[in-house]
Structure 1
Amino acid sequence: MTFNLDTLKITPEIVLLIAEIDEFKGAWRALGTLAPDRLSALRRVATIESIGSSTRIEGSKLSDKDVERLLSNLEIKKFETRDEQEVAGYAEVMETIFAHADTINITENYIKQLHRDLLKYSAKDERHRGEYKINPNHVVAFDTDGKEIGIVFETATPFDTPRLMTELVEWTRTALEEGRLHPLLIIGIFTVTFLEIHPFQDGNGRLSRVLTTLLLLKSGYNYVPYSSLESVVEQSKEGYYIALRKTQGTIRSDAPDWQPWVIYFLRALQQQKNRLQVKIERERIVIETLPELSIQILELAKEHGKLTNSQIVKLTGANRNTVKKHLQALVLANHLSQHGSGKGTWYGRLNG
């Protein structure tokens, strides 16, 4: 595959977006000085959002709450529905990426291994997981109910797929090593071309988002586990498909139009970064203004979704009346919402 990048115009918007994202990348060392348990809580929320969003983009109907409940029981290793199977596989692959990004190289073998792990629990995909497609496939869009609403575009043939993947992987590795093109542009071009090839029978969309995260981490964007890019894509799904279609329909031409996808991709990264900035600022404000027990209660509310006074007493070991006073203060300050009355009263986070 010859990548004609002469048609990629580095516009002022592209320059500004890259500069803004890189500025945050550089500042992350200072921004990331929250206590380990705070960072861990941020990452858990982002991971749940990422898994939920990425599987819903492909037609799953599980909510983030469903995903959270499922992740708390992953040791069961047996999942009844296809949606649950996809969530379990995605969760394991994301943890692999977060833990071992430095040692996972961008090779065809690693990509196939990640695909195999992604579909590990999907009984329907047992025959083809970890192997390139042998039948034609195409990209389809789903509505909010998980119903297929139409073909987005045709993809590479099974015959051409091995050659095209070899060329894509070699180009990506070489481009990153040479450093002539900014890594964010290389990652964007890799992602859109991978999706245009659609090398596997199923799971390509989910795997593309896993590989995007892997490449970002390998390029030093160490904040990505703490803010969900997949959630941004889900909430701008129409723009995602339009940008894909506009660029992918031209990739095999003499003058590929990289612009629609590159701009969408960089704007999505900007939104991911912005969301994390807001969360970090909120965390700082909370830390600076609230007593330790109140912070503990907020973390428990974030983790459990719903909490009663009795649960908090049990989990923290604090006095019941003390917990009650802290809960009243958190409700008044709009950190928690109160539901029900009497013994049925429970509390939830207003700002997740």
Structure 2
Amino acid sequence: MALKTDSLQLTHEILALVSEIDEFKGAWRALGTLAPERLSALRRVATIESIGSSTRIEGSKLTDTEVERLLANLEIKSFDSRDEQEVAGYAQVMETIFAHFAAIDITENHITQLHRDLLAFSDKDERHRGAYKTLANHVSAFDPDGKEIGVIFETATPFDTRGRMQELIHWTRSALNEQSLHPLLVVAIFTVVFLEIHPFQDGNGRLSRVLTTLLLMRCGYAYVPYSSLESVIETSKEGYYLALRQTQRTIRSAKPNSQPWVVYFLRALQQQKRRLEKKIEREHLVLGTLPELSLQIIEAVKERGRITIGEIVSLTAANRNTVKKHLATLVGANHLTQHGTGKGTWYGPKSPRGINHGKS
């Protein structure tokens, strides 16, 4: 593709940001043992923030409270305003991503389907949803009266769009499969080039943020649904657009400069994970709450499906009475389920409905 990624300078700041984000990615293993209802609550708050922020970035006026109220009644499938239609579409696509990200590879077909679903409730977009643009959609500046006063950025022509999208998708898949570039940098470059192409008549900004979440989750950043990246972008919108323009102006040149956007993107991811850390601290669910032995026991259950006290003692070399105490705590907190009593006792994954079997 035309974008030359070998021109990206891996500065100390970029390497430090990547390292910090990846460290948290690894630490999420401990948080994955939290009670399901707490994880579910964190995700619901983050989803509301993401939907509200992403649609407001594009001009919606709905507050997070109004978004939450609307999400509680999504089954009505009928909405009074364009803002509500956009929120409903974004919510539907986010749930699809969260539930099926492992099966949604980055392909033209999946991207156009996600665009179609994103605009599923938007009456204004009925003719062009799920299809590449047929008219120019350059990014323009407008005066307070809504009159266009100039083109800020020229996007790909309708004629060039399909070819450029195929080029971008091929590069992204190859870079991830071959691991020729760190996945965070691949996601950053995909996003900025996607927005430079602006492949659809409308909905490009919202879809770019959906695809960012999809790519991050496919790359193993499992914590992403629990903290809103869109909210971070909304609070730094001026920097977001500035970084985009600085990089987009050079993408097709002999000396492309990915630096401004990559740094902004990684800083936004850093802020996203730091917000999640603070939320966890506020709920007294600090990283590393579970002792190392408890984590070892949980990991062993995940790998084996079931385990006995004797097997844990052999595996960890821990004292039998200590193992019993950790198991009692894990069962009581619904991290594990006890089956049977006496010598026949074994332990399995947590009960999906919080019901423990047997006696502690």
The AA in structure 2 aligned to 1:112 is: T
The answer to whether the Cα contact below 8 Å between 1:57 and 1:142 also exists between their aligned partners in 2 is no
Matched, 1:193 2:172: no
TM-score by length of 2: 0.77
Matched, 1:224 2:224: yes
Deviations 1:299-349 (A, max 9, x none): xxxxxxxxxxxxxxxxxxxxxxxxxxxxxxxxxxxxxxxxxxxxxxxxxxx
Q: Which structure: larger Rg?
A: 2
Partner-residue secondary structure (3-state), 2:7: coil
| Residues 1:141 and 1:40: Cα distance change in structure 2 (over 3 Å) | farther
The answer to whether the Cα contact below 8 Å between 2:2 and 2:252 also exists between their aligned partners in 1 is no
Partner of 1:245: 245
Partner of 2:94: 94
| Residues 1:253 and 1:212: Cα distance change in structure 2 (over 3 Å) | same
Partner of 1:176: 176
Partner-residue secondary structure (3-state), 2:252: coil
| Residues 1:121 and 1:267: Cα distance change in structure 2 (over 3 Å) | same
Partner of 1:258: 258
Partner of 1:9: 9
% of aligned pairs identical? 75
- How many residue pairs are counted as aligned between the two chains? 286
| Residues 1:180 and 1:246: Cα distance change in structure 2 (over 3 Å) | same
Matches within 5 A, 1:1-352: 1-140=1-140, 151-284=151-284
Deviations 1:202-226 (A, max 9, x none): 0000000000000000000000000
| Residues 1:148 and 1:91: Cα distance change in structure 2 (over 3 Å) | farther
The answer to whether the Cα contact below 8 Å between 2:136 and 2:158 also exists between their aligned partners in 1 is yes
Superposed structure 1 runs of 4+ greater than 4 Å apart: 140-144, 146-151
State the Cα distance separating 1:7 from its structure 2 match.
1.6
Partner-residue secondary structure (3-state), 1:91: helix
> Using the alignment, how far apart are the partners of 1:91 and 1:266 within structure 2?
25
Partner of 1:315: none
Deviations 1:186-215 (A, max 9, x none): 000000000000000000000000000000
> Using the alignment, how far apart are the partners of 1:272 and 1:171 within structure 2?
27
TM-score by length of 1: 0.78
The AA in structure 1 aligned to 2:229 is: L
> Using the alignment, how far apart are the partners of 1:245 and 1:166 within structure 2?
22
Deviations 1:81-110 (A, max 9, x none): 000000000000000000000000100000
Partner of 1:295: none
| Residues 1:97 and 1:141: Cα distance change in structure 2 (over 3 Å) | farther
Deviations 1:155-202 (A, max 9, x none): 110000000000000000000000020000000000000000000000
| Residues 1:16 and 1:219: Cα distance change in structure 2 (over 3 Å) | same
Deviations 1:33-67 (A, max 9, x none): 22110110110000000000000000000000110
State the Cα distance separating 1:5 from its structure 2 match.
1.5
CA RMSD of aligned residues (A): 2.1
State the Cα distance separating 1:151 from its structure 2 match.
4.8
The answer to whether the Cα contact below 8 Å between 1:102 and 1:218 also exists between their aligned partners in 2 is yes
> Using the alignment, how far apart are the partners of 1:234 and 1:125 within structure 2?
24
The answer to whether the Cα contact below 8 Å between 1:59 and 1:142 also exists between their aligned partners in 2 is no
State the Cα distance separating 1:281 from its structure 2 match.
1.3
Partner-residue secondary structure (3-state), 2:129: coil
Q: Which runs of 5+ in 2 are unaligned?
A: 287-360
Q: Which runs of 5+ in 1 are unaligned?
A: 287-352
The AA in structure 1 aligned to 2:19 is: A
> Using the alignment, how far apart are the partners of 2:112 and 2:96 within structure 1?
14
State the Cα distance separating 1:285 from its structure 2 match.
5.9
